[in-house]
Amino acid sequence: MNNRSPASAPSPSLKTASDPFMAAARRAVLEGATEPPFSSPLNQEGRAGLYSCAGCGAPLYKSSAKFPTSCGWPGFTQGTEGAIATRADHSHNMTRTEIHCARCGGHLGHVFDDGPTAQEHPEGTTMRHCVNGLALDFTPSGA
């Protein structure tokens, strides 16, 4: 993870979209909203592929880093090299680490240190990236 400044703005289509799904994605990515737990179809996504930023299309997570969680949001052990930026989040009377797309600054979710170990997952890092499914676009391998 890194703390680089965003290099490009989120997609104009995300900023101006009016359909309900895109409006919810806009709130998650641009305004830092959290989607309801267990609401994302990406929780159950098990195909090989790549998860990209819904705001700018930057590749964020490989499917090999995804693991099942009980928290209600897609979980990953790590992002692709240089893709994830962090900052302290002191909201809701707690301190957490917020994660963002390093390219556009779009809000992804939070990272916690209760993820799988290397013995529990091939890419285990003990980190759990808890990501809003609305902040991600999934492209299956070979698509």
Q: Left if phi > 0, otherwise alpha if psi is -120 to 50, otherwise beta: which for 109?
A: left
The candidate with the shortest Cα–Cα distance to 28, out of 140, 138, 133, is 133
Say if residues 114 and 130 touch (Cβ distance below 8 Å). Answer: no
Question: What DSSP string describes 92-110?
Answer: GGS-EEEEEETTT--EEEE
- In whole angstroms, give the CA distance from residue 135 to residue 14: 10
Which residues are annotated as catalytic? 130
